[in-house]
Amino acid sequence: MARTLNIDDKSVELAIPLDIIGPSVIDISKLYGQPRVSTYDPGFTSPAACESKITYIDAGILFDRGYTRTEQASPSRGKQVAPQRHPREGV
C-alpha cells in the first residue's frame, strides 16, 4: 500500500508497510532523494530506525516473538528448556 505526498510541484509515492503489531508506518526514505525535504519530529516521538521481523518495542517494552522479556523468563509459560550439552560430553 502507498500514498502520494505532493510538495510544491513535485509528488512522491510513500510506501506504507503492513505491520502485524502496532500502528501503521510510512516509509519516508524517498523524501530526501526526490523532493529533497527532511522531516521534523520534535522530541523524537515517532521515529523508527530499523525494521525487525521478530521484535517490537511499544512504550519502552520490548516484545520478542510476541512475548515480553519477563514473560519469556517466567516458568509459567509452559515451555521447559533443558540445558544443552556438547555432543562429545555424552549423556
Say if 70 falls within a structural domain: yes
Say if 15 falls within a structural domain: yes
Say if 86 falls within a structural domain: no
Alpha helix ranges (H) inside 40-91: 69-73
C-alpha cell at 54: 521478530
Q: Which residue has the higher pLDDT, 31 or 80?
A: 31
C-alpha cell at 50: 530499523
* Per-residue exposure over 55-77, b if at least 16 CB sit within 10 Å of its own CB, e if not: ebeeeeeebeeeeeeeeeeeeee
If one counts the domains in the chain, the total is 1
Tell whether the model's pLDDT for residue 77 goes beyond 60.
no
C-alpha cell at 12: 512522491
Tell whether the model's pLDDT for residue 14 goes beyond 80.
yes
Confidence band, pLDDT 50/70/90 cuts, at residue 4: very high
Say if 19 falls within a structural domain: yes
